[in-house]
Structure 1
Amino acid sequence: MIWNTMMGTSILSIPWGIKQAGFTSGIILILLMGILTLYCCYRVVKSRQIIPLIDTSNWEFPDVCKYYFGSFGQWSSLLFSMISLVGAMVVYWVLMSNFLFNTGKFIYNYVNDINVTDIVPGTNGSNKVICPSAASGHLPRNRSVVFSADNITSFTLFEKWWNKSQTVPFYLIAVLLPMLNLKSPSFFAKFNVLGTVSVVYLVLLVTVKAAHLGIHLEFNWFAENEFFVPEFRILFPQLTGVLTLAFFIHNCVITLLQNNRNQENNVRDLSIAYFLVGLTYLYVGVIIFASFPSPPLSKECIEQNFLDNFPSDDIMSFVARIFLLFQMMTVYPLLGYLARVQLLRQFFGNAYPSLFHVLALNLAIVGAGVAMARFYPNIGGIIRYSGATCGLAFVFVYPSLIYMISLHRAGQLTWPALIAHIFIILLGLANLIAQFLL
């Protein structure tokens, strides 16, 4: 359950993050961030148990923050929780627009028997890999095809009304806004299995593509060229920002573990879940990066969504986009429901005070998603900014501060524990600041 909940859209950006960090440092950072976030998550799980003389069995982590920090802890935890939820919903909207656009493009070309030839640089053969960023400076992303067809006017009209950034993000409103306004999204919770199916299929896709493409790594430091793979890059904080959200489950881990029949196994189950998540990220990230054909392309071509490196007429990528599109369309209302419950219940004492309140909130959230899909469709950037921001509070600061305060009150705070947890807080702060500097 924890693995299924934690595995999200971040997996699509892990190969790009490894490119930004460098191959060797990327692998090391995934391992270190996994261990660090696991420890902080462990501190969250244990945070209720270290409060004396109070029944905390029904408490969530924001309740613990309120106990230690008063109203500031209550409202700040709400703020950062909303940042994580709305940030995830914005990423979902950008990705759903991407997947819907490519799906529609594939279907249109297939139905009209259009022979597609990508102008953007890429490899040849049945397992083609493309470099969209190489053509972004002089070709609109939506017009990167040439074909022989009688009805050119029809295709021009299709391009006009089926545009990745200008039209498709708006089409999603008609489907998803009504879903957000439902009082209970329990129907969509039944489709959680789609998340597991999607991740398993992505792992299969990565494995098959790598088997056909082979391994392409050039580490010769004394013969540096455009295909040289750096083992360390100064842009590595971009990966740590992505990983903060990729390993983020701290605001709901207590709720998830409450369903465990044997509560004494919580730490074991949490550790196993983090191990599986880290292993999945490592496998997908390393395999995609290592198998990316360089030469003839450069590793710099790896996109923030690695599926964009496969053309729209690639069958396996088409199936992956279909899986992910339906999965996200079922998860999106659940995220909206969580945001509604947390925000409106705090202000009005009711998760559904009226249709007007709910509609106003949902319009604001949807508007943020449409705006990002229209003007800033960079999921890697959105993930790392929102991840580093909400992670500063829920991953690094609050768990460490609460643990130090509890030790101090019990007279058990030692210098090594104090220094170690202050260092964790400083790491979180540096992680956030670095996102805006690099």
Structure 2
Amino acid sequence: MIWNTMMGTSILSIPWGIKQAGFTLGIILILLMGILTLHCCYRVVKSRKMIPLIDTSNWEFPDVCKYYFGSFGQWSSLLFSMVSLVGAMIVYWVLMSNFLFNTGKFIYNFVHDINVTDVVPGTNGSSKVICPSASSSHPPQNRSVMFFSGNNTGFELFEEWWSKSQTVPFYLIAVLLPLLNLKSPSFFAKFNVLGTVSVVYLVFLVTVKAARLGIHLEFNWFTENEFFLPEFRILFPQLTGVLTLAFFIHNCVITLLQNNRNQENNVRDLSVAYFLVGLTYLYVGVIIFASFPSPPLSKECIEQNFLDNFPSDDIMSFVARIFLLFQMMTVYPLLGYLARVQLLRQFFGNAYPSVFHVLALNVAIVGAGVAMARFYPNIGGIIRYSGATCGLAFVFVYPSLIYVISLHRAGQLTWPALIIHIFIILLGLANLIAQFLL
């Protein structure tokens, strides 16, 4: 359950993050961030047990923050929790727009027997890889040439009404906004298995593509040439920002572990889940980076969504986008429900005070997603900014501070423990600042 919940859209940006950090440093950072976030998540799980003389069996982590920091802890934890939820919903909207656009384009070309030739640089062969970022003069939705006979008026009309950034993000409103207003999205929770299917299929896709492309690695430790990147790059904080959200489950881990029949196994189960998540990220990121054909392309061509490196007529990518589109359309209302419950219950004492309140909140959230899909469809940037922001509080600061304070009150605080957790807090702060500097 924890693996399935933690695995999300971040997996699509891990190869891009490794590109930003360098291959060797990228692998090291995935391992270190996995260990660090696991440690902080362990502190979250244990935080309730360190409060004496109070029944905390029904407490969530924001309740623990309120106990230690008063109203400031309560409202700040709410703020950062909303950043994580709304940030995830914005990423979902951008990706759903991407997947819906490419799916519609594939179906239209197939039905009308249109042959597609991409005008961006790419490789040849049965497992073609393209470099969309190398052709900045072409908008993303027009980076291909269509060959067909007869009148092309229908195709021109399709291109006008089926644009990745101009129209498709608005079409999603008709489907998803009504779903967000449902009082209980429990129906969509039944489709949680789609998340597992999607990730398994992505691993299968990556394996097949790598087998066909082969391995393309040349270890240049500190220098960069036309086709290969150095193993250590100054842009590495972009990967740590992505990884903060990729390993983020701290605001709901207590709830997830409450369903365990044997509570004494919580630490073991949490550790196993983090190990599997880290292994999945490592596998997908390393295989995509290593197999990316460089030469003839450059590793710099790896996109923030690695599926964009495959042409629009690629069958396996089409199937992956279909899986991910339906998965996200079922998870999106669940995220909206969590955001509604946390925000409206805090302000009004009721998760559904009225249709007007719920509609106003959902319109604001959907509007943010549409605006991002329209003007800033960079999922890597959105993930790293929101991840570093919410991670500062829930991953680095609050778990460490609460642990130090509880040890101090019990008279058990030692200098090594104090120094280690102050260092963790400083790492989180540096991680956030670096996102805006690089």
| TM tier, smaller | over 0.9
Confirm or deny that 1:111 pairs with 2:80. no
Check the 8 A contact 1:129/1:309 in 2, yes or no. Answer: yes
Aligned-pair CA distance for 1:384: 0.1
Q: CA deviation at 1:138?
A: 4.1
Please state how far the C-alpha of 1:146 moved relative to its aligned partner: 3.1
Q: Which moved more, 1:42-51 or 1:220-229?
A: 220-229
CA change 1:275–1:313 in 2 (3 A) is same
Residue 148 of structure 1 and its aligned partner are, at CA, apart by 2.7
Q: What does residue 245 of structure 1 align with?
A: 245
Q: Which moves more between the two structures, 218-227 or 89-98?
A: 218-227
Contact 1:217 1:229 survives alignment (8 Å): no
Post-superposition shift, 1:225?
2.5
Contact 1:227–1:295 (CA under 8 A) maintained in structure 2: yes
- 1:377-426 Cα deviation digits (max 9, x unpaired): 00000000000000000000000000000000011111111000000000
Query: Is residue 180–residue 336 contact of structure 2 (8 Å, CA) maintained in 1?
Result: yes
Q: Does 1:144 align with 2:153?
A: no
Which stretches of structure 1, 4 residues or more, deviate above 4 A after TM superposition?
220-224
Tell me, in whole angstroms, the C-alpha distance in 1 between the residues paired with 2:150 and 2:233: 49
**Is 2:118–2:143's contact at 8 Å kept on the other side of the alignment?**
no
The DSSP-based 3-state class of the residue aligned with 2:228 is coil
Structure 1 residue 223, shift from structure 2 partner: 8.7
* Superposition deviation, residue 147 in structure 1: 1.4
Q: Is the CA contact 2:222–2:230 (under 8 Å) kept in the aligned structure 1?
A: no
Q: Distance in 1 between matches of 2:149 and 2:260?
A: 59
SS of structure 2 residue aligned to 1:223: coil
**How big is the shift at 1:264?**
0.2
Per-residue deviation at 1:317? Answer: 0.3
Looking at structure 2, the residues matched to 109 and 143 of structure 1 have their Cα atoms a distance apart, in angstroms, of: 14
Q: 1:330 and 1:300, CA in 2 relative to 1: closer, same or farther beyond 3 A?
A: same
> In the alignment, does 2:50 pair up with 1:70?
no
- The Cα of 1:25 is off from its aligned counterpart by 0.2
Is the contact made by 2:210 and 2:291 (CA closer than 8 Å) also made in structure 1? Answer: yes
Change in 2 beyond 3 A, CA 1:13/1:140 = closer
Q: For 2:217 and 2:155, how far apart are their aligned partners in 1?
A: 40
Contact 2:222 2:232 in 1 (8 A): no
Q: 1:139 to 1:87 in 2, by over 3 A?
A: closer
CA displacement, residues 175-220 of structure 1 (integer Å, 9 cap, x when unaligned) = 0000000000000000000000000000000000000000001225
Rounded to whole Å, the distance in 1 between the matches of 2:224 and 2:430 is: 31
Q: Give 1:137 deviation, angstroms.
A: 2.7
Q: 1:221 to 1:15 in 2, by over 3 A?
A: closer
Q: Does 1:101 align with 2:101?
A: yes
Classify the secondary structure of the residue corresponding to 1:146: strand
CA pair 223-257 structure 1, distance change in 2 beyond 3 A: closer
Q: 1:57 to 1:222 in 2, by over 3 A?
A: closer
Q: Secondary structure at the match of 2:250?
A: coil
Q: Which deviates the most, 69-78 or 148-157?
A: 148-157
- Secondary structure of 2:98's aligned partner: helix
Q: CA deviation at 1:11?
A: 0.1
- C-alpha distance in structure 2 between counterparts of 1:279 and 1:56, whole Å: 34
Residues 303-327 of structure 1 show CA distances to partners (whole Å, capped at 9, x for unaligned) of 0000000011100000000000000
Q: Tell me by how many angstroms 1:154 deviates.
A: 1.0
Structure 1 residue 371, shift from structure 2 partner:
0.1
TM, length-normalised to structure 2? 0.99
Q: Is the 8 A contact 1:218 1:227 kept in 2?
A: no
Structure 2 Cα separation of the partners of residues 332 and 138 of structure 1: 31
State the 1:139 CA deviation.
Answer: 4.8
Residue 150 of structure 1 and its aligned partner are, at CA, apart by 1.4
**Identity in percent:** 92
Separation (CA, whole Å) in 1 of partners of 2:385 and 2:100: 25
Q: How does 1:74-89 map to 2 (within 5 A)?
A: 74-89=74-89
Given that 2:140 and 2:164 are in contact with CA atoms closer than 8 Å, whether structure 1 keeps it comes out as no
Give the direction of change, closer, same or farther, for the CA distance of 1:269–1:149 in structure 2 (3 Å limit).
same
1:68-124 Cα shifts (integer Å, max 9, x gaps)? 000000000000000000000000000000000000000000000001111111001
Q: Is the 8 A contact 2:220 2:230 kept in 1?
A: no
The whole-number CA distance in structure 2 between the counterparts of 1:352 and 1:252 is: 21
Which consecutive unaligned segments of at least 5 residues does structure 2 have? Answer: none
1:320 aligned residue:
320
Using a 3 Å threshold, how does the CA distance of structure 1 residues 267 and 221 change in structure 2: closer, same or farther? closer
Shift of 1:143: 4.5
Structure 1 position 191 matched with structure 2 position 191: yes
| TM-score (structure 1 length as normaliser) | 0.99
CA distance in 2, matches of 1:354, 1:98: 33
Aligned to 2:23: 23
Instruction: Tell me if the contact between 1:242 and 1:383 (Cα under 8 Å) persists in the aligned partners.
Output: yes
Kept in 2: contact 1:85–1:339 (CA 8 A): yes
Shift of 1:328: 0.1
Q: How far apart are residue 260 of structure 1 and its match?
A: 0.1
The alpha-carbon distance between structure 1 residues 213 and 248, as it changes in their structure 2 partners (threshold 3 A), is same
5+ residue gaps, structure 1, are: none
Given that 2:222 and 2:231 are in contact with CA atoms closer than 8 Å, whether structure 1 keeps it comes out as no
Contact 1:47 1:64 in 2 (8 A): yes
Query: Does the aligned pair in 2 maintain the 1:201–1:320 contact within 8 Å?
Result: yes
Aligned length: 438
Write out per-residue CA displacement over residues 147-171 of structure 1, whole angstroms, 9 at most, x where no aligned residue. 1331211111110000000000000
| Conservation of the 8 A alpha-carbon contact between 1:142 and 1:164 | no
Deviation of 1:224 after TM superposition, in Å, equals 5.3
- CA drift of 1:222 comes to 9.7
**Residues 223/267 of structure 1: CA separation in 2 closer, same or farther (3 Å cut):** closer
1:229 positional shift: 2.8
- 8 Å Cα contact 1:6/1:277 also seen in 2: yes
CA distance in 1, matches of 2:125, 2:163: 27
For residues 12-37 of structure 1, give each alpha carbon's deviation from its aligned partner in whole angstroms, at most 9, with x where no partner exists: 00000000000000000000000000
Larger deviation, residues 149-158 vs 367-376: 149-158
Alpha-carbon contact 1:119-1:146 (below 8 Å) kept: no
C-alpha distance in 1, partners of 2:69/2:139? 53
Q: How does 1:195-214 map to 2 (within 5 A)?
A: 195-214=195-214
Going from structure 1 to structure 2, the CA distance change for 1:140 and 1:36 (only over 3 Å counts) comes to closer
